[in-house]
Chain A
Amino acid sequence: MSPEIALLNNYLIVGAILFGLGLIGFMSRRNMIVMFLAAEMMLQGVSLSLVAWSRFRNDFGGQMLVIFIIAVAACEAAIALGLVTTLFQRSGRLDIADWHALREANQPAFVDEPISEETSTEEPLPTLARAGVAPQVPPVKTDYRPNV
């Protein structure tokens, strides 16, 4: 195999892997934002293959297609994020399963199975025995988020 053919072969395989991983992510994840990241990943896989073909055929056509893919991806991201923010304002969650009312008419309703709470693996901090009079502390209003 000549080096140019080997390069094309390797690029196409990396592109296929990116597309496949994006496919898995889009099908299995439930967070809407992660689903859109996976869709973008599929676009990246296709772009990679197109650039490799562009080099192999010695033609700018493949790179042109990738430029238009980037433009369409920008449009898609704008619309998708508008939709995600609107859906989030309605349900308060990024879960795609909240919208299972949009399913096909003959499909059964989605029932979320309960999962166990996340158990912390950290050692509990040492505590002191309570002593003395309890001080009067005004309640602190926490309107910040402790974590994201």
Chain B
Amino acid sequence: MHDPHIILILTTLLGAVGLWLMLPRGTHRGRSVGIILTAVALGAGASQLPYLGDWLTESIFGVLAAVTVVSAAATIAFRNPVYCAIWFGLTLLGTAGLFLFAGAQFLAVATIVVYAGAILVTFLFVLMLAQPEGKAAYDRVSWEALLSAVLGMVFVGVLSMAIVGVFTAPREAKERPVAPPAAKELAENVLVPQHVAALGTELFGKHLIAVEVAGALLLAALVGAAVIVAQGKMEEKNERNAQQKRD
């Protein structure tokens, strides 16, 4: 039983069944069993992860990854879409923490400001505007919950096996080994203390044209969103006018 592949396959199947039980299926039966199964699968998967070198790094990474993954599972499992959005906010905070932990300080702040500050609040606005009272029937059932849970977890399992296989497979002598970066090199480039200055130099130096294109894309999206919403309003108005004429 110490073959990591067998443990990974079992973890995947356990997680698939647990997620299936957790997803909305029209009944409350089996939800707590699903939560327990998913938690067991998460723990078994986490026990297979390699040690990060020292206990502080390990525990910080563990807490951040656990927050991210658990809140992501809660996002797709909750029936009330408001709770889904709030759990998704926690996922964003977890990913922002992981970004910070990997040395991407600007991206961590940008994720919180852009996602949690703008996109998520807009989602909540639309929910408040659009959600009818009470829990809607379509929030309490899913499309093919078992099929999608199995498919998604098999995808995760295959991907993790591939990732683990790349780093643990014995290599041919002529192949260039994956060289981890030295701490000194990292401190001079990606983990440089003047992080935002280095990032800005890279962004507005090497990727200037891409920045311009992204600006044009944002403008196009803004105009497009305004047109879509305005067109719906116009049609409504026309219908109302036509009805008034008929009356």
Q: How far is the CB of A127 from chain B (nearest CB, A)?
A: 23
**Interface size of B as a range:** 35 or more
Q: How far is the CB of B1 from chain A (nearest CB, A)?
A: 21
Residue-wise, chain B 91-128 has the 8 Å CB interface mask toward A (1 for contact) of 11001001100111011001100110011001100111
Report yes or no: A41 in contact with B130, Cβ–Cβ below 8 A.
no
Tell me which of B81, B84, B132, B186 contacts A58 (CB under 8 A). B186
Give complex CA distance A90, B119 in Å: 23
Q: List 19 A-B contacts (CB under 8 A).
A: A1-B50, A17-B72, A21-B73, A29-B143, A31-B138, A33-B127, A37-B85, A54-B190, A55-B104, A68-B210, A74-B119, A74-B218, A78-B221, A78-B222, A89-B236, A115-B137, A116-B26, A146-B133, A148-B82
Give complex CA distance A88, B232 in Å: 10
**Interface size of A as a range:** 35 or more
Q: B135: nearest residue on chain A (CB-CB)?
A: A118
List residues of chain A with CB under 8 Å of any chain B CB: 1-14, 16-25, 27-31, 33-34, 36-38, 40-41, 44, 47-48, 51-52, 54-60, 63-64, 66-68, 70-79, 81-86, 88-90, 92-97, 112-113, 115-116, 118, 145-148
Q: How far is the CB of A62 from chain B (nearest CB, A)?
A: 9
Known pairs A19-B159, A55-B104, A63-B106; list 5 more (Cβ under 8 Å): A18-B68, A20-B159, A60-B189, A64-B202, A74-B118
Residues of B within 8 A of A88 (CB): 126, 129-130
Report yes or no: B138 in contact with A1, Cβ–Cβ below 8 A.
no
Report yes or no: B84 in contact with A20, Cβ–Cβ below 8 A.
no
Residues of B within 8 A of A112 (CB): 137
Give complex CA distance A55, B122 in Å: 32
Residue-wise, chain B 11-51 has the 8 Å CB interface mask toward A (1 for contact) of 00000000100011011000000000000000001000111
